[in-house]
Amino acid sequence: MAKMTKSQMLAELAEKTGHSKKEAGAMVDALVSMALVEVKKSGEFAIPGIGKLVKVNRKARLGRNPATGEQIQIPAKTVVKFRVAKAAKEAVL
């Protein structure tokens, strides 16, 4: 089974809401930009029923170079993670 493309998603969203594909695309783009701004600002953005984007600080750690086996220092960095909502997990599983 193939995954849904953005074009297919916009077509289905437009059909279910009674809007045009262009309007559906603008709504999705607005949601994405709003999510990115909010995660950067407050560190979290929730989409009820689906999950939330969370900004997480990773500590510095020791790792190994797989080619040589040599230990290397991996620096601390900030990453974005997606935490799936309980309702979404239960609906899918």
Q: Report which of 42, 14, 43 is spatially closest to residue 27, judged by C-alpha positions.
A: 14
The domain of 67 spans 43-93
**Residues 23 and 54 both lie in one domain:** no
Say which residue the tokens 């701004």 belong to: 37
Instruction: Give the per-residue pLDDT at 4.
Output: 94
pTM of the model: 0.78
Q: What is the CATH number of the domain that holds 91?
A: 4.10.520.10
**Residues 60 and 93 both lie in one domain:** yes
Tokens representing residue 52 in the block: 């939330």
Structural domain count of the chain: 2
- For the stretch 14-50, pLDDT in tens is 999 999 999 999 999 999 999 999 999 999 999 999 9
**Residues 11 and 56 both lie in one domain:** no
**Residues 47 and 92 both lie in one domain:** yes
**Residues 48 and 93 both lie in one domain:** yes
